[in-house]
Structure 1
Amino acid sequence: MTHRPLGVGVVGAGRVGAVLAAALRAAGHPVVAAAGESDASRARIAALLPDVPIEKPTAVARAADVLLLTVPDDMLGNVVAMLTASGAIREGQYVVHTSGRHGLAVLEPAREAGARVVAMHPAMTFTGTALDLERLGGCVFGLTAGAGERAVAEALVADLGGRPMWVPEEMRTLYHAGLAHGANHLVTLVTEAMEMLAAAGADDPSGTLRPLLTAALDNALAHGDAALTGPIVRGDAGTVEAHLEDLLANAPQTVASYVAMARATLDRAVTDGRLLPIRALKIHDLLARASVAAATPTTTLAPVVPPTVVDRTTHLR
């Protein structure tokens, strides 16, 4: 532990809160109380924070030197306002939320009451079990804090085994959007890819994808757009057309995301010069026709070229 022990209280013992509190306790900070209403939250407290008393949020706040607010984004403002109005927030107390989207503005009522406020978001997905404790090692935490709180914020991240990344207040939402786009949408993408393979007869879709996706992820993280391969970057319109026809017939629920990602991939391939705009035209046309086909009872790519294709071609040039 890099500083004196601080009594930790957690309001919202969901997947994130219970894990972070358990990690801080392992680093030497006593967890004084936790608040959790649902059966799942109480089960997490029992499993990850044994012997920690379950209290109402106001009681947790009054008992804590460091109050972790790990509630959903849309609830955070109301929770801060309620705890402050009740007198549970005190001068000198650290009030720390784990929202990626929010910065310090949402904690303004607590700051006005004299609390020292910190935004501390772990760039990690959580299961809410002990498995997450090892994953915290090396995890980046998006931090926003005033000059007077920076040292303690960094020390808490160090005690969690993480690495600090300072995010300006005005960039919190963009920071969080990058994480959500990369991680949350990846889950949807991979799940749909497994559905396609299952429809094609694969008996182990996840095992089929794992080596390919691992290599693609590593290459993308290391090389960005240069890692791109496949029919889009090659300009193989016939292959893209065959994909779309089969998806419309056998996995129509995946067409919208295939089209969206193909369009984004096409634009990037043209922008970096790997695909000529004239070759991109035909693929843009196919994608536009697939969007129309997916929204109608037909499962064929009718030769419809909407005006937006021309507009986007002008942009691509």
Structure 2
Amino acid sequence: MRAAGETVAGYVANPNAVHQFQPAQSLGFQGLGPLDTAALKAVDWVWVTVADDRIDSVSRHIDWQPHQVALHCSGATELSHLHAHKASAAIGFHPLQIFSQPAIALQLLAGSSVGIEVVAHQPHILETDAWQLASQLASTVQLKPLRIASGQRALYHAGAGYAASALVSMLSEASHLWQQVGIDPEQAREALLPLSHGALQAMRHNGLADAVAGPIARGDAGVVRQHMHALQLIGPSATQLYQQVALRQLNLLATAERLSAEQARDLHLALRLQPDHTPP
């Protein structure tokens, strides 16, 4: 925010967790004291950037002012948990980027989208005004605004998770299968990452359905049966995951009519392979 030209007044920290704010201190930000401090009441924008399960309890101790805008950066927590009815508006501002590695996130943040929900609380501000404020904020920090409907944050956040950490889980599953055939985990990661990158690039340029590749996209039921047989030797959870992913690929391909009815039927049959089946 400061790099974008905004004035950052400072931060309010739990006295028992001041060490967590050392990075902020190193950047020259100052502590404002307790939540009821006059300095906090004077600022225009108040960001509640605590863990989701603490947004409610922390926000209850803030003496919101009519001129203030209350914000949190949670993806799933509803704005009602800010208890900011005395503030002019409440805004959910959720950058769609991975922050497990903050330094990497900062490099990737510009150009990312941000999930935004707005609620106006005071007569002098309309919801359209609050949305304009949030959109301007997004543009200031080079983010693309994406509007979230009220009451839908949890579902929105679950979907975002599929596009982020769920991908990591799928790569972990792929690496686990490769370990069964003697491939080192580090080698697996180095080999799989370009494959994932290629799939994402194909999706970016061609859309979802046309980015699907492999035996499902080719209608190759014989290879799918081989996959199923090999996975059954690993265990039922591996087989079930493969089936669920493959079925979603089939549904996606159906939207683009990339498979004939016969190919789709044969693939569905291959995915129902019985435990005692042996490949030809």
With normalisation by structure 1, the TM-score equals: 0.70
- Report the equivalent of 1:91: 66
C-alpha contact (below 8 Å) 2:73/2:92 kept by paired residues: yes
Superimposed CA distance per residue, residues 129-148 of structure 1 (whole angstroms, 9 cap, x where no aligned partner): 33332222112112222223
1:249 counterpart (233, 240, 260): 233
2:181 counterpart (200, 225, 242): 200
- Report the equivalent of 1:180: 161
Inter-partner Cα distance in structure 2 for 1:124 and 1:280: 36
Deviation of residue 183 (structure 1)? Answer: 1.6
- Report the equivalent of 2:123: none
Inter-partner Cα distance in structure 1 for 2:262 and 2:136: 55
Superimposed CA distance per residue, residues 115-140 of structure 1 (whole angstroms, 9 cap, x where no aligned partner): 42111110111125333322221121
CA distance 1:73–1:33, shift in 2 (3 Å): closer
Superposed, 1:210-289 pairs within 5 Å as 210-223=193-206, 224-250=208-234, 254-289=238-273
Inter-partner Cα distance in structure 1 for 2:198 and 2:138: 30
Q: Percent of aligned positions with the same letter in both sequences?
A: 26
Amino acid at match of 1:30: V
More deviation, 121-130/57-66: 57-66
Deviation of residue 230 (structure 1)? Answer: 1.0
C-alpha contact (below 8 Å) 1:32/1:63 kept by paired residues: no
Gaps of 5+ in 2: 119-126
Equivalent residue pairs, number: 262
Would you say 1:114 and 2:87 are equivalent positions?
yes
With normalisation by structure 2, the TM-score equals: 0.78
Inter-partner Cα distance in structure 1 for 2:15 and 2:261: 56
Would you say 1:156 and 2:134 are equivalent positions?
no
Inter-partner Cα distance in structure 1 for 2:174 and 2:42: 48
1:144 counterpart (109, 117, 124): 117
C-alpha contact (below 8 Å) 2:221/2:267 kept by paired residues: yes
More helix by share: 1
1:71 counterpart (50, 66, 87): 50
Please state whether the residue corresponding to 1:249 is helix, strand or coil.
helix
CA distance 1:78–1:29, shift in 2 (3 Å): same
Please state whether the residue corresponding to 2:92 is helix, strand or coil.
strand
- Report the equivalent of 2:122: none
Superimposed CA distance per residue, residues 196-243 of structure 1 (whole angstroms, 9 cap, x where no aligned partner): 223222230111112221111111122220121111122222211211
Please state whether the residue corresponding to 2:131 is helix, strand or coil.
helix
Amino acid at match of 1:139: S
CA distance 1:268–1:127, shift in 2 (3 Å): closer
2:102 counterpart (122, 129, 141): 129
Say what the alpha-carbon RMSD is for the aligned residues: 3.0
Inter-partner Cα distance in structure 1 for 2:43 and 2:238: 48
Amino acid at match of 2:148: V
Inter-partner Cα distance in structure 2 for 1:272 and 1:155: 37
C-alpha contact (below 8 Å) 2:111/2:143 kept by paired residues: yes
C-alpha contact (below 8 Å) 2:231/2:239 kept by paired residues: yes
Please state whether the residue corresponding to 1:89 is helix, strand or coil.
coil
Q: Structure with the greater relative contact order (CA < 8 A, sep ≥ 6): 1 or 2?
A: 1
Please state whether the residue corresponding to 1:138 is helix, strand or coil.
coil
Gaps of 5+ in 1: 1-23, 291-300, 304-317
Deviation of residue 253 (structure 1)? Answer: 5.0
Superimposed CA distance per residue, residues 247-294 of structure 1 (whole angstroms, 9 cap, x where no aligned partner): 23247653332221011112222443222344333433443447xxxx
CA distance 1:283–1:72, shift in 2 (3 Å): farther
Amino acid at match of 2:203: A
1:101 counterpart (76, 87, 105): 76
Superposed, 1:23-34 pairs within 5 Å as 24-27=1-4, 28-34=6-12
- Report the equivalent of 1:294: none
CA distance 1:252–1:54, shift in 2 (3 Å): farther
2:13 counterpart (13, 21, 35): 35
Deviation of residue 72 (structure 1)? Answer: 3.9
Amino acid at match of 2:3: A
C-alpha contact (below 8 Å) 1:104/1:119 kept by paired residues: yes
Amino acid at match of 1:267: N
Inter-partner Cα distance in structure 1 for 2:131 and 2:252: 38
